[in-house]
């Protein structure tokens, strides 16, 4: 099911259109997350992520009640194997959240966008080396070009893009874990359990913040408290939109739309926040964008041939 297929019956076109709408909504929300976290100043990154974990858990409990998902949730917690996978997913998404918020509040939004630009290619590599999947020549070419971009950034810019690589690795392996779980764990139950495993860590972070810089929740005015209280909603809503979208459109379409988020983050970092973009960084990003172009061309060609390219789900 391609993005521009007008030959489908009306019901299928309607499903495809709603799938695209859900998926685009998820990527747009992820794209503006840096601005949301910046609005939370003076709340620091450790407190932000702690509230994000705790409030996501509360929000998911409410959702389970509203959608009457408790029966499915109980069925999941009775399976130790699934619980283990959700615990691992929780650790990985915590690393991703913490690195992202630290980088955003420290003025490295551009580098976070680099991580999400590279992520789809990282996903393909995991599929090859972990799942034994076969990939096409153009995908190998995209991987090689992306690797060259990282080398150029390291050599020309003089530093390893640790933020980008950490985000790529954590989210790539997170996607792999979610694929291992498959349809056995729905989006709401999965996020509920992932947040649950992180509650002790979130509590410890809040205790340490309280003993050092001080908790800001409720001390910076009503507007700030309202914004911070939406940390759980800001986390859960795009994940649920993404889950709804990926059930309605092809993974090829999901993969192409995925680049909305890093493009928005790049614009926010370089254009809105004015983060430095010396020539060597432009060169590195330029090479990454060439890799992305090759990657998208491969997806489009494969889609027209009726294939289903394998991409990890972003949830």
- The more confidently predicted of residues 140 and 37 is 37
Average pLDDT over residues 160-182: 86
Phi, psi of 206 (to 5 degrees): -65, -40
* Reported confidence tier of residue 251, pLDDT bands at 50, 70, 90: low
pLDDT at 236: 86
* Reported confidence tier of residue 6, pLDDT bands at 50, 70, 90: very low
Answer yes or no: are the C-beta atoms of 113 and 266 closer than 8 Å: yes
- Residue 231, pLDDT > 70, answer yes
- Residue 78, pLDDT > 60, answer yes
* Reported confidence tier of residue 309, pLDDT bands at 50, 70, 90: very low
State the average pLDDT for the chain: 84
pLDDT at 145: 86
How crowded is residue 258: how many other Cβ atoms within 10 Å of its Cβ?
23
d(CA 153, CA 235): 31
d(CA 62, CA 131): 36
pLDDT at 35: 94
Q: Which long-range contacts (CB under 8 A, 24 or more apart) does 9-14 make?
A: none
Q: Any idea which of 116-120, 130-134, 187-191, 197-201 has the lowest mean pLDDT?
A: 130-134
Handedness of CA 103, 286, 254, 81 (dihedral sign): negative
- Residue 287, pLDDT > 50, answer yes
pTM of the model: 0.84
Where in 89-146 does DSSP place strands (E)?
none
């Amino acid at each position: 099911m391609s993005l521009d297929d007008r030959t489908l019956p009306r019901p299928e076109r309607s499903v495809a259109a709603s799938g695209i709408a859900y998926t685009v909504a998820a990527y747009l929300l992820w794209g503006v997350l840096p601005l949301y976290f910046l609005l939370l100043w003076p709340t620091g990154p450790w407190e932000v992520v702690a509230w994000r974990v705790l409030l996501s858990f509360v929000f998911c409990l409410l959702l389970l009640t509203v959608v009457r998902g408790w029966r499915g949730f109980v069925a999941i917690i009775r399976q130790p194997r699934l619980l283990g996978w959700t615990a691992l997913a929780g650790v990985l998404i915590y690393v991703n959240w913490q690195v992202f918020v630290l980088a955003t509040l420290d003025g490295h939004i551009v580098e976070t966008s680099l991580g999400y630009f590279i992520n789809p290619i990282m996903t393909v590599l995991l599929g090859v080396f972990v799942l034994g999947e076969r990939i096409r020549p153009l995908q190998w070419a995209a991987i090689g070009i992306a690797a060259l971009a990282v080398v150029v950034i390291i050599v020309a810019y003089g530093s390893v893009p640790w933020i980008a690589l950490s985000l790529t690795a954590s989210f790539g392996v997170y996607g792999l874990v979610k694929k291992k779980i498959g349809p056995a764990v729905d989006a709401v139950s999965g996020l509920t359990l992932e947040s649950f495993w992180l509650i002790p860590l979130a509590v410890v972070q809040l205790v340490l913040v309280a003993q050092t810089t001080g908790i800001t929740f409720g001390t910076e005015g009503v507007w700030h408290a309202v914004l911070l209280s939406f940390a759980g909603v800001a986390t859960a809503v795009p994940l649920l939109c993404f889950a709804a979208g990926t059930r309605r459109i092809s993974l090829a379409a999901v993969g192409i739309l995925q680049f909305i988020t890093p493009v928005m983050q790049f614009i926010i970092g370089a254009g809105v926040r004015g983060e430095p973009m010396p020539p060597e960084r432009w060169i590195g990003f330029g090479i990454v964008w060439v890799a992305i172009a090759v990657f998208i061309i491969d997806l489009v060609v494969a889609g027209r041939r009726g294939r289903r390219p394998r991409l990890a789900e972003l949830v």
